[in-house]
Amino acid sequence: MRLSPRSIPMSWKARETRYAYATVLPVVVLVALFTIYPVGYAVSTSLREVVLYRPASTPFVGLKNYLDIVRGDFFASAWGHTLTFTLFAVPLATMLGFGTAHLLRVRSRLAGFLNAAVLLPWAIPTVISGIIWAWIFNSTYGAFNGALYSLGLISSYIPWLSRPTSALFCVLFAHIWKELPLTSILYVAALQAIPDELYDAARADGAGVLATLGRITIPLVLPTTLIVVIYESMVAIVTFDLLYVMTGGGPAGGTSLISYFIYNRMFTSYNFGQGAALAVILALSLIVFILVYLRVLRSEEVYRE
Amino acid sequence: MIRRSFALASGLIALSVVVCAVAVAAAPVQLTFTVWSYSNDVIQDNIQKFQARNPGVQVALNDFAWEKFTDVMTARFVGKTSTDVSYSSDHWLQQWAAANWIVPLDDYFPQVAAYKPDFAPYAIEGMTYNGKLYGLPYYADTIIFIYNEDMLKRAGFSAPPVTWDDVTKMAVAMKQKKIVEYPLMFQFQDITPWYIEVFLSMVYSHNNPSMFDKSLAPTYDNESSAAHKVARWLVDGFRTTKIINPASLEMTEVPLVKAMGAGQVAFAVLPKYNLADLNTAGAHAQAGKFKMALMPGETHGTVGFVRFYAMTKMAADRGKEVRDGSWKFLEYFGGKTGGEFTVVKRWALEKGLGFAQLPLYKDPQIRAAINKWGNVTLEEQQSKLARAKEALTPFWGPWSLEFQKEMNKALLGQETPLQALQASAAKWKEMKR
């Protein structure tokens, strides 16, 4: 049998296509198993009334869970706390990371020690960090109160974790302490990539420290800054473990961020339907950040400029 | 030759099958036991002793913080993490039972009925769901009023407070004499399960304390309710007279007991067993100075509660051997061994934990032990005035957390006491639907 001239490359192409599909199939199966299925299950749960102490009845309720959640007074306050937390956490983690990276670049005898020390918070599990910070801010025996009292700055111990605003800022402090190593390391890498010749040339042209910072360093670490900002935004929005350990979402729900609200609905109120609806809402919100993230990563203009 | 080899091989296979079967049959039953962290050394020692008596059962212990216990257990049950026997509480019995996570003991072990006459009525009520008994008591106790006698005397008072107005008067006097900045402290962290029991104890000390009617509709969300009186008293103490430590809103049991032991607190409402710890020589700077009084109020009523050992559905489904092993475990820990409530008695003697097993009140050893750190007569008197928490339903646990959150809004001045009660009553109605 003679093959037509066109059939040979077609057959080869088909085989190549099959091979390509076969090689990605295991990954697709894994992704489907661990991502698509749980997401689909969560969406399906969010459309049903799933209350754990009524296991026999899980009727389809459409968007009722979403409406109940959005209409509830706790939804707005939880988002309010989340946005407040994020608005403080992101700039502070970014700026302090940038500053710390500068310090780490200074060549000194202590450089090795400082590099290790700055990584320490990263090495400590978040729950342990939370327990440590809860002790530090404790109102009756906390080290923070002790230090302020010893310095004569306060006349009696302040219940930091018993007031909604100060409790939120205590968690924020612990969060930044935990995040600082990552942002610092990212900035160290970005700073090391800037050629020394640029600084030499700037100095030769008479540029001062601020001019060098504003015209060379900041523009050249901008891509890293964008990644840090977007990553830290996502981390701040989904913060949970520190809250869980330090405040339990209190006092009076004053530190209940949206992630804690989801946990509360599911594991405290046993309402998995509403918890899943909230999780879907949070996921959709995060997708906005992820899209921005992807868009920024794709654009090379920042580097070119 | 071939036939002989075949016979030999068959014999070896048969032998190995028999050996495997014997090994499986002889392998001890493995039980996973979940507890909240409290005196884990005593729990471990009890487990060792149980295993020595029952070599066919091995127990693995998993412990979690009390404040997070129900959340962790929910995650375990939903995720089907192996759990056979567990601590539980009257707070959560209805939820756990309705969700089919724990099983009624009478269905599997009819012999449990023989224990019922020994148990205090409020404890039986706290372990019963739909008429069936779900546990054997780990301990049962009352919420009591504890005071530092030395501070009270320094403030010029020779007897403890009888009403909540007395508490205010004495606390204000202590404050004015600079004996202590905040004479009262509560454990009012949003999520601590003690919060609601402390609040209800104060409610039950008033006349007409019911929070719900017979149809389980809330009746506490009005100005004349006992709950409103308590909420107003607390808000006044926080915001007007400032006799209550504002740190109460972050407080849980252990830090509160430590603060009291260190002399930072004169009055507290706590589970009774804490009195034993507070008066243990060397355990606290103020040890020996603490006494209990009947709960201040018109009736001196309080909450009687029970924590118990339960068997999970997972254990029940694992087969007869596991069920039998679980019963041996439950009976050793919450029932009798050699005719005695060995483990319950140990907790009472060593840690001052209360008990639901009423015959133990006649035990001279226990009476002597209680009198070392407390007053057995007063304790019995308070126990008689104790009542179980009312309206225990599958949504009682979630509601109690909403209640606590709303009350804390009132304590922070974000809502009035009445608004807080009304908001929590609205939550109850919503959950009941």
Q: Are residues A162 and A98 part of one domain?
A: yes
Judged by a CB distance cut-off of 8 A, whether residue A128 touches chain B is no
Within a domain: A54: no
Q: Are residues A161 and A242 part of one domain?
A: yes
Q: Where are the beta strands (DSSP E) in B157-280?
A: 267-271
pLDDT recorded at residue A294: 72
Which residues fall within 8 angstroms of residue B284, CB to CB, at 6 or more apart?
B258, B260, B261, B262, B277, B278
Q: What is the C-alpha to C-alpha distance for residues B116 and B119, in angstroms, rounded to an integer?
A: 5
Within a domain: A58: no
Within a domain: A60: no
Judged by a CB distance cut-off of 8 A, whether residue B264 touches chain A is yes
Q: Are residues A253 and A105 part of one domain?
A: yes
Q: Are residues A115 and A21 part of one domain?
A: no
How confident is the model over A79-103, as pLDDT tens digits? 999 999 999 999 999 999 999 998 8
| In contact, B210 and B83? CB cutoff 8 Å | no
Q: Are residues A18 and A82 part of one domain?
A: no
Q: Are residues A121 and A8 part of one domain?
A: no
Burial class (CB in 10 A: 0-12, 13-18, 19+), A224: buried
Strands B302-311 and B136-148: antiparallel
Q: Are residues A188 and A216 part of one domain?
A: yes
Domain ranges, ordered by start, for chain B = 29-141+305-370, 144-304+380-432
Taking contacts as CB-CB distances below 8 angstroms, the residues of chain A near B250 are 138-139, 159, 161-162, 167, 247, 250-251
Please tell me which residue of chain A has the smallest CA distance to B415.
A252
CB contact under 8 A, A163 and B94: no
The domain in which residue A16 lies consists of 1-46
Burial class (CB in 10 A: 0-12, 13-18, 19+), A84: middle
Residue type, B227: A
> Tens digit of pLDDT per residue, chain B (433 long)?
555 665 666 666 666 655 555 555 568 999 999 999 999 999 999 999 999 999 999 999 999 998 889 989 999 999 999 999 999 999 899 999 999 999 999 999 999 999 999 898 889 999 999 999 999 999 999 999 999 999 999 999 999 999 999 999 999 999 999 999 999 999 999 999 999 999 999 999 999 999 999 999 999 999 999 999 999 999 999 999 999 999 999 999 999 999 999 999 999 999 999 999 999 999 999 999 999 999 999 999 999 999 999 999 999 999 999 999 999 999 999 999 989 999 999 999 999 899 988 889 889 999 999 998 999 889 989 988 999 999 999 999 899 999 999 999 999 999 999 999 999 999 999 988 8
Give chain A's largest Cα–Cα span: 100
Q: Which residue has the tokens 């080869």?
A: A12
Strands B267-271 and B128-129: unpaired
- CB-CB: which of B74, B75, B191 is closest to A248? B191
| In contact, B265 and B259? CB cutoff 8 Å | yes
Q: Are residues A72 and A220 part of one domain?
A: yes
Q: Are residues A42 and A77 part of one domain?
A: no
Mutate to test the interface with A, among B250, B313, B408, B431 (most CBs of A within 10 A): B250
The yes/no answer on whether domain B29-141+305-370 falls in CATH 3.40.1160.10 is no
pLDDT recorded at residue A110: 73
pLDDT recorded at residue A67: 96
- CB-CB: which of B67, B98, B259 is closest to A248? B67
CATH number at residue A73: 1.10.3720.10
Could you give phi then psi for residue B289, rounded to 5 degrees?
-100, 0
**pTM greater than the 0.90 cutoff:** no
Give Cα A156 to chain centroid, integer Å.
Answer: 36
Within a domain: A53: no
Within a domain: A61: no
Q: Are residues A36 and A112 part of one domain?
A: no
If one counts every other C-beta atom within 10 angstroms of the C-beta of residue B352, the result is 24
Judged by a CB distance cut-off of 8 A, whether residue B408 touches chain A is yes
Number of folded domains in chain A?
Answer: 2
Asked, colleague to colleague, whether B29-141+305-370 and B144-304+380-432 share their fold, the answer is yes
pLDDT recorded at residue B16: 61
Burial class (CB in 10 A: 0-12, 13-18, 19+), B93: buried
Q: What is the C-alpha to C-alpha distance for residues B61 and B30, in angstroms, rounded to an integer?
A: 11
Within a domain: A135: yes
Q: State how far residue B72 is from chain A, nearest Cα, in angstroms.
A: 8
Which residues fall within 8 angstroms of residue B43, CB to CB, at 6 or more apart?
B35, B61, B63
Q: Are residues A7 and A103 part of one domain?
A: no
Query: Which CATH number describes the domain made up of B144-304+380-432?
Result: 3.40.190.10
CB contact under 8 A, A250 and B189: yes
CB contact under 8 A, A248 and B247: no
pLDDT recorded at residue B90: 93
Mean pLDDT split into 10-residue runs, chain A, 305 residues: 54 87 91 87 95 89 95 90 95 95 80 82 92 93 94 93 96 96 94 92 92 92 90 92 92 94 89 95 87 69 51
Nearest partner of B407 among B171, B151, B220, judged by Cα: B220
Q: Are residues A106 and A221 part of one domain?
A: yes
What does DSSP assign to residue A162? G
